[in-house]
């Protein structure tokens, strides 16, 4: 195993450390980025994917700094990537090797992300006693099973809908991705009276303008592996999901799925960013000019990390859900008011508030 450390002092906030880990004996490679620790040890998920890059982990770690700051958590931002197939039978081995390599990187606390789950966090915890999003049998609040992020997205929607001129109960909802975030979003939005009309996964999209039965869809996904096997809908390809007429669009899969080349296809009135960095900055500006409200990732999808931080602070499940509701509702209102008053995209409004807290904390530290 060898490690490479680099620091970047020229950047206003981060990244503080970019670490690449090579494990020739186990034949894999991992990345950890600690973006900023002025507010406390960084928390951020471990992404498992064959495609994850240093650049992606850097961008995701920066989003975590913003998210943890604006959510009022005593944590900085970090992120990791393990470059292997998430379905590999060797997954436990990879996680245990990875955990040992970050044992003394105390400023990074791992959590679940795409391709990892509470079981993976339990392996890390077993190795080094430091991880969040743990199974409840070992004292955790399993944020994916509890649907923390989907719950938070629906709380965000209740505040954001009036700003977009829509009523949540009348809204048609389209969701990209039917993993932890997508499934919990579908459940929470339908419980609030909205109609989920289309969802997708890597195999394609399923669409029914009259609405999909969310429980049935979950069974189909669990038993057949894809939402496209749901019988009461039309199958479309992945990209066609974005042109389906709807009021609310929730990208809840991979980065940069809405870009300059496809942003014009979107007809939703409100976009809630369930995934991290799902929309390029250029596309966000175009959406703002077109009057489509887009609530940034680090406001809308903060439910997961708020629950992770509550677990780390030994709070109960009830306290964690209360914190998610209270903080996401407050922050959504705060940034949408600022965006409206200053005519700036919601992300710019949110970033200026989040950065202020980080910069203030940095001013109290030597050498950050």
Give CA 198 to chain center in angstroms.
20
Q: Which is nearer to ligand NAD, 28 or 178 (CB)?
A: 178
Query: Should residue 301 be labelled a site residue for ligand NAD when binding is judged by CB under 6 A?
Result: yes
Tell me: does residue 68 bind ligand NAD (CB under 6 A): no
User: Per rule CB under 6 A, is residue 325 in the interface with ligand NAD?
Assistant: no
* Phi and psi, residue 183, nearest 5°: -65, -45
Helix (H, G, I), strand (E, B) or coil at 253: coil
Show Cβ contacts of residue 67 under 8 Å, excluding neighbours closer than 6 positions: 77, 297, 298, 299, 301, 302, 305, 354
| Alpha-carbon gap, residue 291 to 151, rounded angstroms | 26
User: Is 143 near ligand NAD (CB under 6 A)?
Assistant: yes
Our CB check for ligand NAD shows the closer of 16 and 149 to be: 149
Contacts to ligand NAD from residues 199-258, by CB under 6 A: 200-202, 238, 252-254
Backbone angles phi, psi at 304, to 5 degrees: -65, -50
Q: Does 114 bind ligand NAD (CB under 6 A)?
A: yes
Q: How far is the CB of 309 from ligand NAD (least distance, A)?
A: 12
**Does residue 141 bind ligand NAD (CB under 6 A)?**
no
Smaller CB distance to ligand NAD: residue 115 or 345?
115
In the complex with ligand NAD, the residue whose CB is nearer, 16 or 273, is 273
Residue with tokens 């809840």: 252
- Active-site annotation holder among 58, 67, 79, 187: 79
- Please tell me whether residue 127 binds ligand NAD under the rule CB under 6 A: no
The distance of closest approach from Cβ of residue 274 to ligand NAD in the complex, given in angstroms and rounded to an integer, is: 5
Check binding of 177 to ligand NAD (CB under 6 A).
Answer: yes
Residue 110 binding ligand NAD, by CB under 6 A: no
Task: Choose, by CB under 6 A, the member of 42, 71, 132, 149 that binds ligand NAD.
Answer: 149
Strand arrangement, sheet containing 270-272: 234-236, 204-207, 195-201, 172-176, 248-251, 270-272, 293-295
The answer to whether the CB of 259 falls within 8 A of the CB of 282 is yes
CB of 181 to ligand NAD, least distance (A): 4
Active site residue 236: no
CB 74 within 8 A of CB 1: no
Whether the CB-CB separation of 124 and 91 falls below 8 Å is answered with no
Residue 46 interacting with ligand NAD (CB under 6 A): no
- Say how far apart CA 312 and CA 110 lie, in whole Å: 11
By CB under 6 A, name the one of 113, 118, 155, 351 that touches ligand NAD: 113
Residue 58's contacts (CB-CB under 8 Å, 6 or more residues apart) are: 15, 18, 33, 35
The residues in 267-296 that bind ligand NAD, with binding defined as CB under 6 A, are 274-276
CB of 230 to ligand NAD, least distance (A): 14
CB of 200 to ligand NAD, least distance (A): 4
Q: Least Å distance between CB 7 and ligand NAD?
A: 25
| Residue 118 makes contact with ligand NAD by CB under 6 A | no
Cβ within 8 Å of residue 221, ≥6 positions away: 178, 183, 201, 227
**Which residues have CB under 8 Å from 331's CB, separation 6+?**
70, 71, 299, 302, 350
Catalytic residues, by residue number, are 79
Residues that bind ligand NAD (CB under 6 A): 112-115, 143-144, 148-149, 176-182, 200-202, 238, 252-254, 274-276, 301, 304
């Amino acid at each position: 195993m060898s490690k490479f450390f680099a620091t970047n002092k020229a950047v206003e906030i981060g990244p503080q450390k970019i670490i690449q880990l090579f494990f020739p004996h186990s034949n894999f490679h991992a990345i950890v980025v600690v973006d900023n620790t002025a507010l406390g040890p960084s928390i951020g998920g471990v992404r498992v994917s064959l495609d994850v890059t240093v650049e992606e982990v850097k961008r995701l770690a920066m989003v975590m700094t913003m998210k943890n700051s604006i959510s009022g958590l005593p944590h900085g931002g970090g992120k990791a990537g393990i470059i292997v197939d998430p379905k590999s039978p060797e997954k436990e081995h990879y996680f245990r090797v990875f955990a040992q390599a970050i044992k003394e990187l105390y400023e990074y606390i791992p959590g679940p992300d795409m391709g990892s789950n509470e079981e993976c966090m339990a392996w890390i915890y077993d190795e080094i006693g430091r991880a969040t999003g743990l199974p409840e049998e070992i004292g955790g609040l399993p944020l994916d099973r509890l649907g923390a992020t989907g719950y938070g997205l629906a709380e965000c929607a209740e505040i954001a809908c009036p700003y977009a001129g829509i009523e949540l109960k009348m809204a048609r909802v389209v969701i990209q991705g039917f993993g932890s975030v997508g499934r919990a979003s579908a459940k929470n939005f339908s419980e609030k009276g909205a109609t989920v009309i289309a969802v997708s996964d890597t195999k394609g999209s399923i669409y029914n303008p009259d609405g999909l039965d969310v429980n049935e869809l979950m069974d189909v996904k669990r038993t057949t592996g894809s939402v496209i096997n749901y019988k009461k809908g039309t199958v479309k390809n992945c990209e066609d999901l974005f042109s389906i007429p709807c009021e609310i669009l929730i990208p809840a899969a991979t980065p940069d799925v809405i870009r300059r080349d496809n942003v014009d296809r979107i007809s939703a009135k409100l976009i809630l960013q369930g995934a991290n960095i799902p929309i390029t900055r250029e596309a966000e500006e175009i959406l703002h000019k077109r009057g489509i409200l887009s609530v940034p990732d680090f406001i809308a999808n903060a439910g997961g990390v708020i629950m992770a931080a509550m677990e780390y602070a030994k709070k109960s499940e009830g306290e964690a859900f209360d914190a998610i509701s209270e903080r996401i509702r407050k922050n959504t209102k705060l940034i949408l008011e600022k965006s409206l008053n200053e005519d700036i995209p919601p992300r710019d409004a949110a970033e200026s508030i989040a950065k202020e807290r980080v910069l203030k904390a940095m001013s109290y530290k030597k050498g950050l």
